[in-house]
C-alpha cells in the first residue's frame, strides 16, 4: 500500500495544541515529522497551561519559531516569553485559526 496525498485548495495549515509538558514534546515531534513530509506546511504550536513553563525552560531551536505562547498563562505565572510569539489567549488563537480554515490537533 502506498501513501496518497490529496490535493489541497491552499497550503496545509495545522494548529497543534499543547497544554502539558508531555504534549509539548509530542507537538514538537509532530511538527518536525510533518515538516519532513510536507516542507511547505504552515504549523503553529499553541502552548498554554503547564506547557508554557516547559517551553520557556526547555527551548528548542528547531521548533520555537512555531510556538504561540498563551498570554493568560504568562500573566498567571508572572513569566515572560522573550523572543517567542505571545498571543492574548491560547484558546482564542486556536479558535481564530480554525475559523480561518486551519486544522486542529491536540498533542
DSSP string over 22-70: HHHHHHHHHHHHHHHH-TT-EEEEEE-THHHHHHHHS--TTTGGGEEEE
**pTM exceeds cut of 0.95:** no
Three cell numbers written together for 26: 509530542
Count of beta carbons in the 10 Å neighbourhood of residue 3: 5
Q: What is the pLDDT of residues 28-59, one digit of tens each?
A: 999 999 999 999 999 999 999 999 999 999 99
Structural domains in the chain, sorted by start: 13-106 (3.40.1260.10)
Question: What is the pLDDT confidence band of residue 2, given thresholds at 50, 70 and 90?
Answer: low
Count of beta carbons in the 10 Å neighbourhood of residue 106: 13
Q: What is the pLDDT of residues 83-93, one digit of tens each?
A: 999 999 999 99
Amino acid at each position: 500500500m502506498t501513501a496518497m496525498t490529496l490535493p489541497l485548495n491552499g497550503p496545509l495549515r495545522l494548529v497543534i495544541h499543547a497544554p502539558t509538558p508531555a504534549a509539548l514534546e509530542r507537538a514538537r515531534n509532530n511538527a518536525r515529522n510533518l515538516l519532513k513530509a510536507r516542507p511547505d506546511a504552515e504549523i503553529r504550536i499553541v502552548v498554554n497551561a503547564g506547557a508554557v513553563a516547559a517551553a520557556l525552560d526547555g527551548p528548542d531551536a528547531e521548533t520555537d519559531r512555531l510556538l504561540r505562547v498563551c498570554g493568560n498563562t504568562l500573566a498567571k505565572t508572572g513569566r515572560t516569553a522573550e523572543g517567542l510569539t505571545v498571543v492574548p489567549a491560547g484558546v482564542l488563537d486556536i479558535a481564530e485559526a480554525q475559523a480561518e480554515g486551519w486544522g486542529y490537533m491536540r498533542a
